[in-house]
Amino acid sequence: MRRRNRIALDWNDAWRLDTGGSDPGDREVVEVAVRFAARIPVRPVRLIAQGCGFSRAETERLIAEGMLVSAVRLNGKLSDDFTCALKR
C-alpha cells in the first residue's frame, strides 16, 4: 500500500513501550500490550523488535524458541490490538 500510493508513515513518537514503572529486567515475564489508534497494518515482529531494541532476526528466534508468545500470529500483518509476553 505504501509504495503503490506513495505514502510515508511517520512513526516518531507514535507509540511507546510502557513497563508499568518498574524495571522489566526484574520480572520473569514482561507483558506487552499494543493498542492501535488507527487500523494501519503493521508486522508485529518489526514493531516488537524496534520497541525492545532487538533485531528482527533475534525477535524471530525468540518466537521460534517460545520465548516470545502471543495468541495472534506475530509474523504476519496485523491492524488489531494485540498482546504478547516476553519470557526471560
Can you list the positions of beta strands (E) in 7-80? 29-34, 68-70
Tell me what the mean pLDDT of segment 27-38 comes to.
80
Contact 33, 51 (CB under 8 A): no
For residues 70 and 13, give the distance between their C-alpha atoms in angstroms, rounded to a whole number. Answer: 25
The pTM of this model reads 0.71
Q: Give the residue, 52 or 2, on which the prediction is more confident.
A: 52
Q: How high is the pLDDT of residue 35?
A: 81
Mean pLDDT is highest, among 2-11, 40-49, 67-76, for 67-76
For residues 88 and 78, give the distance between their C-alpha atoms in angstroms, rounded to a whole number. Answer: 25
Q: How high is the pLDDT of residue 57?
A: 95
Q: How high is the pLDDT of residue 37?
A: 77
Per-residue pLDDT tens digits for 36-51: 777 878 889 988 888 8
Contact 57, 49 (CB under 8 A): no
